[in-house]
């Protein structure tokens, strides 16, 4: 009886983790959720960890995605100042 309950709980946790992972992705829908003024952490909650970030003269530029499709965000003072996307579906 305990093993059945444990399996049910495991399935629910796995399904929750998969749904959370699917919601944080590089997509046009998630790009449209981004706004000027959001923090880096808020952006990460929407589209996940960036592929790369560079910083120069107080501007942090991050890229999500790859060469074919992606999102670029520039942060000034820890907040989104500029954002752009290319080839998103």
Domain holding 76: CATH number?
3.30.1450.10
* Confidence (pTM): 0.72
Is residue 51 left, alpha or beta, with left meaning phi > 0 and alpha meaning psi from -120 to 50? Answer: alpha
In three-state form (DSSP H/G/I as H, E/B as E, the rest C), the secondary structure along the chain is CHHHHHHHHHHHHHHHHHHHHHHCCCCHHHHCCCCCCCEHHHHHHHHCCCCEEEEECCEEEEEEECCCCEEEEEEECCEEEEEEEECCC
**9 within some domain:** no
**76 within some domain:** yes
Q: Which pLDDT tens digit goes with each residue over 6-52?
A: 565 655 444 444 444 445 799 999 999 999 999 999 999 999 999 99
Q: Which pLDDT tens digit goes with each residue over 24-36?
A: 799 999 999 999 9
**6 within some domain:** no
**16 within some domain:** no
The structural domain count of the chain equals 1
């Amino acid at each position: 009886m305990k093993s059945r309950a444990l399996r049910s709980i495991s399935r629910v946790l796995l399904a929750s983790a998969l749904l959370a992972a699917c919601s944080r992705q590089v997509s046009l829908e998630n790009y449209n959720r981004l706004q000027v003024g959001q923090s880096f952490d808020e952006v990460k909650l929407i589209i996940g960890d960036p592929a790369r970030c560079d910083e120069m003269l107080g501007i942090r530029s991050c890229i999500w995605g790859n060469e074919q499709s992606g999102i670029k965000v520039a942060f000034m003072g820890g907040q989104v100042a500029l954002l752009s996307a290319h080839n998103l579906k």
